[in-house]
Amino acid sequence: MLYKFKITSAEVDNFVLEIEIDHEQTYLEFHNTIQKAIGYDNSQMASFYQIGADKERGLEIALFEMNTEDDDNFNVVAMDVAMIREFVSSENPELIYVFDFFSDRFFHVQLIKKGISKSKTKYPKCTLSKGEAPIQIKMDAEDFDGLGLGEFESKSDKTKTADDYLADFDDEFNEGPEFESLDDYDDIL
């Protein structure tokens, strides 16, 4: 059975991908096909989520298995073991694909067709790519705008000495002996 998905972005109106994938293939193969089609770095965290009737995120299909043996969280499945047919159907045709976790940015993924696969065709494959995909990571380490860091001093003061930093602390710890070297410590033992 062949599944055809349409992938769109709320950020970029003219961006559309269509990918055909066999129902026995994994979400990891789907992830890699999406990443390759739009030129993203596929080592970044990503997850698919089922979307319920209430439009809320349901089961997560994650790039990496993060559950431990003691973890009872059954709402996360690893992409490399999850087959396409297991988590999407004509009754539940919508997923989202989170590609930028820090900014919670995602693509809408919709099952648009089920059909018979062509025996000589290699799947998964991208059958349509229109428009430019949004940038993969919106915020990098040097871009902290919007994080509310205004109350913190942002420019470094390289002229401060160790004594300047210690002056900020209440000095109630001077009740014990003072040592100039480790030899002084050995003398009191």
Per residue in 71-128, pLDDT tens? 555 789 999 999 999 999 888 899 999 999 889 999 999 999 999 887 788 999 999 9
As a whole number of angstroms, the distance between CA 115 and CA 20 comes to 10
The predicted structure's pLDDT at residue 52: 83
Provide the percentage of residues in the chain whose pLDDT is more than 90. Answer: 53
CB 103 within 8 A of CB 147: no
Average pLDDT of every residue of the chain: 81
Whether 152 shows a pLDDT value over 60: the answer reads: no
Is the peptide bond preceding residue 134 cis, with omega within 30 degrees of 0? no
Where is pLDDT greater, at 159 or 13?
13
> What is the DSSP track for 58-97?
EEEEESS----TT---TTEEETTT-BHHHH--SSS-EEEE
Token pair, residue 189, equals 């033992």
Domains (ranges, CATH) in the chain?
Answer: 2-130 (3.10.290.30)
Mean pLDDT to the nearest integer, 59-78: 76
Whether 151 shows a pLDDT value over 60: the answer reads: no
Strands 76-78 and 94-100: unpaired
Top mean-pLDDT range of 3-17, 41-55, 131-145, 171-185: 3-17
Whether 9 shows a pLDDT value over 90: the answer reads: yes
Whether 168 shows a pLDDT value over 50: the answer reads: yes
Phi-psi region of 65 (alpha: psi -120 to 50; beta: other; left: phi over 0): beta
The predicted structure's pLDDT at residue 62: 94
Whether 171 shows a pLDDT value over 70: the answer reads: no
Residue with tokens 């989520």: 49
CB 65 within 8 A of CB 78: yes
